[in-house]
Copies of this chain bind each other. A is one copy, B any other.
Amino acid sequence: MKRSVEFLFDVGSPYSYLAYHALPAIARAAGAEIVWRPILLGAIIKTTGGHSPFEVPAKMRWVEQDLERCAAALAVPFRLNPHFPVNTLVAMRIATGLQAQRPADFPAWVEASFRAMWAEGRNLADPTELAAVIRAAGFDDQELLALASQQAVKDKLRSDSEAAIARGVFGAPTFFVGELMYWGNDRLDQVALALAPESAAG
């Protein structure tokens, strides 16, 4: 059985963006498959009683430096989104809808929305900007916005986020290798160990 690592992410989360760039090489080296799991981080933080770093100014100042250092170490373009925190509800509904109904288009949207948030400083909560980002990614904005407004798509993002909470998720990125949970881009070394062939965890 092929090993796999589940990647729970929200494109509004900067550490999810870093993990998005770091995880593929780790999975490839382990011969493992990435199982992509879009979730709505804002809803998860609210339900679990968590806090955004934004609430603690000193922490946010450090997070900004840390993100720049981590992105530089990965050689990934990064600038803190000036609109952060951004409501990614529609962007994540599009991801959920594409994954379920047009899976071949899912990777391009994940790439485009992460890049818009964390390399281009776009405001995905603004309908005009969101439509422009969709079009720039080569999609029809009316089509994807219609997809995002399907009740089944809305329900799936909600139930997937609730299912994540039921498994213990409180933040993003979160990884699962089997039932072992890892929170944070900075736990990818442990994910790599759990995926190693000699490990019993995968």
A residues in contact (CB < 8 Å) with B? 48-51, 55-59, 61-62, 65-66, 69, 73, 165, 168-171, 181, 183-184, 186-187, 190
- Return A179 CB to nearest CB of chain B, in Å: 11
Choose from B57, B66, B183 the contact partner of A187 (Cβ within 8 Å). B66
Q: Which residues of B contact A69 (CB under 8 A)?
A: 190
- Return A28 CB to nearest CB of chain B, in Å: 22
**Inter-subunit contact A58/B165 (CB<8 Å):** yes
Determine the residue in chain B with the shortest Cβ distance to A59: B170
Determine the residue in chain B with the shortest Cβ distance to A47: B58
**Inter-subunit contact B61/A168 (CB<8 Å):** yes
Is chain A's interface secondary structure helix, strand, loop, or mixed overall?
A: helix
**Inter-subunit contact B49/A57 (CB<8 Å):** yes
A165 to B170, CA, bound (A): 27
- Return A190 CB to nearest CB of chain B, in Å: 6
- Return A1 CB to nearest CB of chain B, in Å: 24
Choose from B62, B183, B187 the contact partner of A181 (Cβ within 8 Å). B62
Can you name 19 extra interface pairs (CB under 8 A) apart from A50-B56, A59-B171, A59-B183?
A: A49-B55, A49-B56, A49-B57, A50-B58, A50-B59, A58-B165, A58-B169, A58-B170, A59-B170, A62-B170, A62-B181, A62-B183, A65-B181, A66-B187, A69-B190, A73-B190, A184-B186, A186-B186, A186-B187
Determine the residue in chain B with the shortest Cβ distance to A182: B66
Q: Which residues of B contact A66 (CB under 8 A)?
A: 183, 187
**Which residue of A62, A186, A190 has the most chain B CB atoms within 10 A of its CB atom?**
A62
A166 to B183, CA, bound (A): 29
A181 to B65, CA, bound (A): 9
